[in-house]
Amino acid sequence: MQSFKRNFKWYSLGFLVIMTSAIWSAVLADANNHLKVSFLDVGQGDAIYIEAPNGHQMIIDGGPPGSLLPALSEVMSFSDRSIDVIVVTNPDQDHFAGFIDLLDSYEVGVVIESGTFNKSKIYGRLENLITEKKIPKIIARSGMKVDMGAGVHFDVLFPDRDVSSWNPNDGSIIGQLIYGNTSIILTGDATKKTESYSLSGSEASGSLGSLASNVLKVGHHGSRTSTGESFVSAVDPDYAVISSGADNTYGHPHQETLDTLNKFGIKILRTDQLGMIIFESDGQKIELENNI
């Protein structure tokens, strides 16, 4: 009995260590079941960081010059210097320029592009970096599936054809990020014309309902040139995310777009008002992480 009393504090300490380990194991196991999608605050531009439950990462668009790395530091560990996939939905500067800094500092596994072009020097610099670093480059086509593992995949819905001669916005990549029963439609700068092609493709395959998603990333920063009623109706999201800069010179988001989203009773989330917007999904439901 005396021996037990003398060693009681050690037994207690051991018990606490075991319980703490068990609690943290449970927390980490739960966290590892979640897909994390962060709509980064990069001002007037797009940048979306995606992390699958297994730790694989994708970034869709890189925002304007100098904007990506500061925003990325809020969701990635400084010691993590690699990204599995980056996607350039279209070659406008507010979608790709931030990737130049990324390629200078991070190891990137593969680049996916829409196939449209930009003759600017800064876009040429991005393409040269991709070539110099010998990063595989893929031109997106409808039907492609980017498998991130752990049940997460990004399905390309558009382009469904050669768009090399198209206006960059019309040729923008539209994709659907899927995890279990949850999904997010990501549209880049897709116009109503582009949206109509995605709708036609779904109708032709008899899978119009497959566009239905929990979240819609609104095309072209909320411009009136995007977010047609037929497309919004088919997606039928609970949330609409608009990535735009405060007091931007384009007047984004346009009132016509806000009116369309409000007509369908969709909750609108804007980076110019809220900063970074983060969703988490366990495959069954998708929720806002940052209590907006």
Nearest CA to 47 out of 217, 169, 177 is that of: 217
Instruction: Give residue-wise pLDDT tens across range 193-210.
Output: 999 999 987 554 544 448
Whether 103 has a pLDDT exceeding 90, the answer reads yes
Domains of the chain: 34-276 (3.60.15.10)
Residue 124 neighbours by CB distance under 10 Å? 11
Whether 213 has a pLDDT exceeding 80, the answer reads yes
Residue 284: pLDDT band (50, 70, 90) is: very high
Q: Output the CA–CA distances (angstroms, integers) from residue 160 to 130, 172, 239, in the order listed.
A: 24, 11, 26
Under 8 Å between Cβ of 180 and 150: no
Cα(103)–Cα(139) distance, integer angstroms: 19
What number is the average pLDDT over the span 137-157?
97
Residue 3: pLDDT band (50, 70, 90) is: low
Three-state DSSP class for residue 268: strand
Q: Compute the mean pLDDT over every residue in the chain, rounded to the nearest whole number.
A: 90
* Beta pairing class for 277-281 and 267-270: unpaired
Whether 178 has a pLDDT exceeding 70, the answer reads yes
What number is the average pLDDT over the span 17-44?
67
Residue 82 pLDDT:
97
Residue 68 pLDDT:
98
Residue 203 pLDDT:
54
Residue 115 pLDDT:
97
The structure's pTM equals 0.88
Instruction: Give residue-wise pLDDT tens across range 33-77.
Output: 999 999 999 999 999 999 999 999 999 999 999 999 999 999 999
Higher pLDDT, 6 or 160: 160
- Residue 35's beta-bridge partner residues? 281
Using the structure block, give the residue that is written with the tokens 């806000």.
Answer: 258
Residue 93: pLDDT band (50, 70, 90) is: very high
The identity of residue 71, as a single letter, is: A
Composition of the chain by helix, strand, coil, percent to 5: 35, 25, 40
Residue 46 pLDDT:
98
Whether 255 has a pLDDT exceeding 90, the answer reads yes
Residue 5: pLDDT band (50, 70, 90) is: low
Whether 29 has a pLDDT exceeding 90, the answer reads no
Residue 291: pLDDT band (50, 70, 90) is: low
Residue 2: pLDDT band (50, 70, 90) is: low
Nearest CA to 59 out of 89, 27, 23 is that of: 89
Nearest CA to 118 out of 39, 159, 172, 45 is that of: 172
